[in-house]
Amino acid sequence: MLKLIIFGPPSAGKGTQAQRLSERYGIPQIATGDLLRDAVAKQTPLGAKIKSYLDSGRLGPDDLIVQLISDRVSKPDCAGGYILDGFPRTMGQARELDKMAEVDIVLNIVVDMERLVERAIGRRTCGQCAAVYHVSFNPPKAPGVCDKCGSGLIQRDDDKEDTVRNRLRIYMEQTAPLLEHFRMNDNLVDIDGSKGIDGVFDQMVEAIERVRA
């Protein structure tokens, strides 16, 4: 059983690492952003409620997000654990998570602001399987085509520079204060996110192996 949180500001590399850790440990990645974008694309009732939040980079209402996660973690594929990517993001969500589960480790990716903007603006995502690329730092083999499933790559609507900076501001105001909460739970590990994708992954695996030892 392994339950972990990948924490950090927008575009720090949470999704990139969560996908790799999911393959390595055989547990699902639960990415709130992907679940919400999927709901919008499928025009579900949740999608209709959440679309304006996603477009502007504001956080969705806690009750909707907590319900979404609570439903997801009770699915059978989560019996051996899971990776939370993008949850919790407010103190209210963190308190609800504490009631729901005991998390083994919180991996906090630390990256400076300008690097975050550069990562967001160059990001390309597979519209089909949600694989993540970067035009310079992690390009696909053929431009615009997903290596994993061959579908077309898209640029997220919220990766325009103004919206990215708004998401970073919201992170500093509403999400970064959670670090203190995790520190009190004594399961927070800082990861140097300025390294390349492999270097960040190696640090994460080392930290996970330490808590499992």
Give the C-alpha separation, 89 to 181, whole Å.
12
Which is it for strands 2-7 and 81-85: parallel, antiparallel or unpaired?
parallel
Active site residue 165: no
Residue 61 has which token pair?
A: 């209402």
Q: Least distance from C-beta 23 to ligand AP5, angstroms?
A: 14
Active site residue 167: yes
User: Hey, what's the torsion of the CAs at 81, 85, 90, 96, to 10 degrees?
Assistant: -20
Asked whether position 126 contacts ligand AP5 by CB under 6 A, the answer is no
Asked whether position 182 contacts ligand AP5 by CB under 6 A, the answer is no
Asked whether position 134 contacts ligand AP5 by CB under 6 A, the answer is yes
Q: Looking only at Cα atoms, what is the longest distance across the chain?
A: 46
Comparison of 105 and 163: residue with beta carbon closer to ligand AP5 = 163
Active site residue 148: no
What would the x/- binding string for ligand AP5 be over residues 56 to 95, using CB under 6 A? -xxxx----x--------------------xx-x---x--
Contact positions vs ligand AP5 (CB under 6 A): 8, 10-16, 32-33, 36, 53-54, 57-60, 65, 86-87, 89, 93, 119-120, 122-123, 132-134, 137-138, 158, 167, 193, 195-197, 200
